[in-house]
Amino acid sequence: MLVLRVLAGLALSAFALTARAAPLSAYGGLPTIEAASVSPSGHAVALVLTNGEDRLIVVQDLATQKLTLRAGTGRAKVRYVRWAGDKHLIIVTSVTALPMDVITTQREWMMAFRMDLATGKVLPLLRDVDSAMNTVAGAPVVRMYHGEPTVFVQGIKFVNSRGRLALFRVDLERATSKEVEVGDEDTRDWAIGVDGEPVARETYDMKSGRWSIALRAPGGGWREAVGVMAPIDPPSMMGLGPDGKSVLYQALDDKEQPIWREARIDGAQAGAPMSVTDGQGPIYDPQDGRLIGQYALVGDEGRYSFLRPEDQRVWRAVTAAYKGSMVSLESWSADHQKIAVRVDSLDEGPAYALVDLATRKATWLGGEYMGVKPEDVAAQKPIRFKARDGLELTGYLTTPRGKDVKGLPLIVFPHGGPAARDEPGFDWWAQGMASRGYAVLQVNFRGSEGLGDALLEAGYGQWGRKMQTDLSDGVAYLASEGKIDARRVCIVGASYGGYASLAGAALDPGVYRCAVAVSGPSDLGRFVNWSRSKRGVGAFRYWTRFMGAEDDRSVLASISPAAHADKVQIPILLIHGKDDSVVPLEQSQIMADALKKAGKPYELIVQKGEDHWLSRGETRLQTLEATMAFVEKHNPPN
């Protein structure tokens, strides 16, 4: 359980680090500021701070600039903080396992709490519900219900000893919870209307692959509004439409392109589908849940498009104040006059600021990494090159400050996913590696998401093949430009990037001098079977398609690094969190056993209490320090 203790006399300055050249701890510790949220009235801002390990929730009154709350959360993994009216904060944390082994399946469980800001008292949202766990599915939703800010949360209710997704309504003033509805075994989500009543229910049968949305029928009950067969890429219910009288869902059109469709709650004719760019996401009004805009990262530019012209004018004014920086919306007041933003400057690193449109002033809340000074930020430049088969690829090259970009030692740093992408801006891991004298290459290889479906789909069936040689083609390109020394290259990655590191050693020999794999799959057959047992047949279908093993499972052995450990000619460092619920620890243990049997050099670090996302400051820093010690040993920067 989350335990909050009010800390007297602790000032924000206690989180500042001493003014000196940044050590690895400045990059590898948790961010000093993890989140910023403005109250609905705009009277205060809530911040999630850390001292590198422990987390602290602070509330600052914006009129007096005084801290009205300082509450320590210890080492709880705070995932989400938002206001519910002006009197309460909703806090979501996560743990990898529940006390007393209530559920034996290892996964990350989310728990939600409500904090009364007047008393500092904290209570679980679902503390008084019979036969329900104090875990939540998805982010809590806040609506005005009967004139009061009310929280709607989805949790697990046991019916005949079987867990079912259920919807609950939480009265904040009385600290009581009420069951609204219990779903069946296929229920996946509910949408809450502007009036605080459930208006839509999403279901998905993983066995058959049938997906549907049902809308609340007049007089009660549900009527199916849309249903399709989608065994691999099912649509997804998004939330309320712009007028609050429809529900939006994302699907694929006849050309397999993403579109947003509308299911009308009021029975009116649905509007035309909205075409969206790859990776485009919705922005909702935090007060009533209506769609108010969209965000997309187009190339290297983050673009916000708001439906109301006045919101668009506000955003243009905000971004104009930070020209040349990546500006992202964190939170704003109900009247959109006070706005918390994250400003990522290529020269100074990321920081949080509060913009007050009424006074036309902006105030810095603090740097995201207080220990990283402007002179500690390495330059990042976009790059573009062609793979050996002619496919055009993009990425980023981060180079050490104060060194000529000529003949540098290189660390190839592939992203996770693999259906994800590297983005412009400050990356703590890349910056930490560059601070030790290395150039760092991040490639959006085929199979990456957010840069068009063609690039994503070009990765299907290319694990360990062209997805891998895209990385070594990037090395060859930089070497041809004279920017790096092709004889002094290592590869470091986590999750899919960890797989790519192992595959670089086992399947693409002669490129790297060492490899570091954090939480990387090594035996894909075992990994796919594990995913099916823990995540269902949908996960099995997804992975076998991406890995090119839909028709022939034997393909998995041919691209599994553990099956080719005898071909490894370089030292490998394996790092894995014991509590990893995405890629199980056994994947690194399998690789370690294979390397040991083949007589190959390796090291294995098992991190107690760490998950897949390096959520703990202590082990996150351990990962960076161990990585750099290993790389510096086998590929010295000088």
Identify the weakest region by mean pLDDT among 14-28, 211-225, 331-345, 458-472: 14-28
DSSP letter, residue 245: S
User: Phi and psi (nearest 5°) for 366?
Assistant: 145, 160
- The torsion defined by the Cα of 595, 599, 600 and 601, in degrees rounded to 10, comes to 110
pLDDT in tens, 72-95: 888 888 998 999 999 999 999 988
pLDDT (mean) for 215-235: 90
User: How far apart, in whole angstroms, are the C-alpha atoms of residue 463 and residue 458?
Assistant: 11
Which residues does 68 contact at the CB level (< 8 Å), separation at least 6?
44, 59, 60, 61, 117
Question: Which run of H or of E encompasses 556?
Answer: helix 555-558
Q: Which residue has the higher pLDDT, 19 or 263?
A: 263
User: How far apart, in whole angstroms, are the C-alpha atoms of residue 94 and residue 71?
Assistant: 18
Q: What is the pTM of this model?
A: 0.90
pLDDT at 97: 64
pLDDT in tens, 488-513: 999 999 999 999 999 999 999 999 99
Among the listed residues 632, 572, 560, the one whose alpha carbon sits nearest the alpha carbon of residue 596: 572
418 preceded by a cis bond (ω within 30 of 0): yes
User: How far apart, in whole angstroms, are the C-alpha atoms of residue 464 and residue 103?
Assistant: 35
Question: Which run of H or of E encompasses 28?
Answer: helix 24-28
| Residue recorded with tokens 């510790």 | 29
pLDDT in tens, 252-310: 888 778 899 999 998 888 888 988 877 789 999 988 999 999 999 988 889 999 999 99
Based on C-alpha coordinates, what's the Rg of the chain? 25
Q: Whole-angstrom distance between the N-terminal and C-terminal Cα of the chain? A: 49
Which residues does 92 contact at the CB level (< 8 Å), separation at least 6?
78, 79, 80, 81, 110, 111, 112, 113, 136, 139, 140
| DSSP three-state, residue 93 | strand
pLDDT in tens, 536-589: 788 888 889 889 888 788 899 999 999 999 999 999 999 999 999 999 999 999
pLDDT in tens, 38-83: 999 999 999 999 987 789 999 999 999 999 999 888 888 899 899 9
- Could you give the C-alpha distances from 213 to 220, 269, 536, in angstroms and in order? 16, 16, 21
pLDDT at 131: 66
User: Phi and psi (nearest 5°) for 318?
Assistant: -65, -50
Domain 378-523+560-634 has CATH 3.40.50.300: no
For all residues of the chain together, what is the average pLDDT?
90
pLDDT at 364: 93
- Above 60 in pLDDT, residue 99? no
pLDDT in tens, 115-133: 999 988 999 888 887 766 7
